[in-house]
Each structure stands twice: as structure tokens, then as C-alpha cells.
Amino acid sequence: QDDAATPQFGVVFISSAEDRAPGSGRTAESLAQQYANGQATGATWNRWPLYWFNIENPAGSFNWATQDATVQADVAQGLQVNAILLGTPGFYTTNDSVRLSQPPRLRPGELSLDAPERATPLGLYEPIFADGSDIPGAGKTPNPDNKWAVFVWLAVNRYKPGGLLAQANGWPAGVGVTHWEMWNEPDLNSFWDAPVEDYARLLKVGYLTAKQADPNATVLFAGLANN
């Protein structure tokens, strides 16, 4: 493949959903400048997080407004998106001592998660699919008891090429989010405070769910701090 014809360089946080959240202090002008600065480097990718705890709150209620706006802006700027899925909502942790409901939080520039957000999600070891299996197949949907599978399923179906946002905006074929990173830096306890085996399960659940939602999706192992 000719890298000169298909540049792969990207920047983390050219823009993110938290830039558009109420209280962020960001203006349309400052966001435009962020995009100009990012693209001045030659970047063609924007890598930013979809924080689960900011999207689903309370349990079963999903608000994608700022994420929608960021994906739309990235597409308008001609950027491809590497979307990072992470951050367990407090009410879905497997540790009762930290299970709680929390308001959405801004974290531009923050480099860690709080204790509930880095814990193993509730139901992670439940079957991935609603038929009680971990085996993908035509027409299968996620098991509602596997909370991580449900979140990944909804995110991919919303932002994939041909997904809900693409349909709403009339985007041509192939436009949308194609790359999904399962968590961030799980080798640091500031991001993942759970056994390695739990991350392996999270990666498997995320991979199979994302590929069920979009067979053309590229699913990425979380970026590591210590390579």
C-alpha cells in the first residue's frame, strides 16, 4: 500500500465530545482553531474517547448528543475517526463499594479514570448474544445482561458507515466510523484496575459485538503505555 497516497498519521484529541459539553468553555471559534491546528500537522485521523459513563446515565438512558456533533464535525473536516470505547458507569461496576450514579464529567486533557470507571463492567462474563452464546450469526443481537456488549453494539450501529448518524445526514457509502479501540492503556491501573483476564474478556466481547454490528469494522487492541 502506498502510504503517501493513504496517509495514516493522526492526532489524539484534535476535537472530542467533551469539547462540546455544557460548561466546557469552548466556542465555535476555538473548535475551528483546534481543527486548523490539527490538520496543519498533516493529520488525517482524529483519535478521541467515547466515555461510556458520559453517554449512558442513568442506566438504560443514552445521550449521544455531543458524540454525534463531534463525529459530524470530523466528517465535515475530512478526518477519519479512531473511536476509543471506555469508562464503566458507576452503576455497572462489579464492586459494590464503588457502585454509584454520577453526573457527566468533563475531562479535556485528563489522563485517568476514577475508580468506578476503570472497573470490570457488570455482566462482562455473561453470554455476548441474546441466544445465550458467544457465537456470532445472522440476525443476532447482544445479550441485555452483558452491559459492555450492549454499549459497543449501540455505538457501532450509530456511527458505522450506513449507521444511524450516516442515514440521518445522508452520507455516502463508506462514510462513518470504521475503527474502534477497546479501552485505553489497560496496563496502567489509572485506566484499568482489574485483572488482565478481565481485559481479555472485554476485548473479546467488544470484538465480536463490533464485528456483528459491522463486519467491515476494524477493532483495535487498546493502546498501551508501556510497549
Does residue 124 have a pLDDT over 80? yes
Q: What is the pLDDT of residue 100?
A: 47
Does residue 106 have a pLDDT over 60? no
pLDDT tier for residue 87 given thresholds of 50, 70 and 90: very high
pLDDT tier for residue 26 given thresholds of 50, 70 and 90: confident
Select, from the ranges 17-31, 111-125, 174-188, the one with the highest average predicted confidence (pLDDT): 174-188
Q: What is the pLDDT of residue 111?
A: 60
pTM: 0.90
Instruction: Considering only residues 95 and 197, tell me which one the structure prediction assigns the higher pLDDT.
Output: 197
Kindly report, residue by residue over 61-79, the tens digit of the pLDDT: 999 999 999 999 999 999 9
Kindly report, residue by residue over 165-221, the tens digit of the pLDDT: 999 999 999 999 999 999 999 999 999 999 999 999 999 999 999 999 999 999 999
The DSSP line for the chain is --TTTS---EEETSS-GGGGSTTS---HHHHHHHHHHHHHTT--EEEEEEEHHHHB-STT-B--HHHHHHHHHHHHTT-EEEEEEE---GGGBS-GGG---------TT-----TGGGSPBTTTTS-SBTTS-S---TT--B-TT-HHHHHHHHHHHHHSTTSHHHHHHTPPTT-S--EEEESS-TTSTTT--S-HHHHHHHHHHHHHHHHHH-TT-EEEEPPPS--
